[in-house]
Amino acid sequence: MKIKTLVLAVATLASLPAMADMSYNLSATSDYRYRGLSQTDNGAALQGGADYTNESGFYAGAWASTITWIDDAGGGANIEFDFYAGKTGKFSDAVSYDFGVLTYQYPSHDLAVSPNTTEIYGKLGFGLHT
C-alpha cells in the first residue's frame, strides 16, 4: 500500500502540463536527520521524490523516506510521505516571496496521537535580485 501511494503521487506529478519542469531525486543516506534528530535511529534510509514547477512560479512535490522512529515507539509505520505546494515570485526587483503548504504523512501508524502534521509557510526576501 505504501509503495502504491508513492507511485500514485509520482504519476500524478508526471502527468502535469508539459510547459512545466519536472525533476526527480533518489538517494540512500547513512542517517535521515530532520531538525537535528535522527528519524532512523542513526541507521540508513532510502529516499526519493518528484518536483513540479511552472513558469508562473507554482510548484508542487512529493517526497518519501524510510523511517524507524514511529516503529521504535510501537506505532508500526516505517515510511514518511511529504507533500507540498506553493508559489514563488517577486513583488518587485527588490522583494521576493515564497508561500506554501507542507504535510507530513505516516501511513499505517497506530500511535495514540497522530504524527501527521501540516504546516503553512511563508518567506519574504529583500535585496537586489538578478
Tens digit of pLDDT for each residue in 23-63? 999 999 999 999 899 999 999 999 999 999 999 999 999 99
**86-105: average pLDDT:** 95
Domain that holds residue 86: 2-126
Number of domains in the chain: 1
Q: What DSSP character marks residue 91?
A: S
Measured CA to CA, the distance from residue 52 to residue 88 in angstroms comes to 13
Residue 73 has pLDDT above 80, yes or no: yes
pTM for the whole structure:
0.78
Under 8 Å between Cβ of 123 and 88: no
- Going from the C-alpha of 55 to that of each of 9, 68, 123, the distances in angstroms are 21, 38, 19
Cα–Cα nearest to 2, from 106, 114, 103: 106
26 burial type by CB count under 10 A (0-12 exposed, 13-18 middle, 19+ buried): exposed
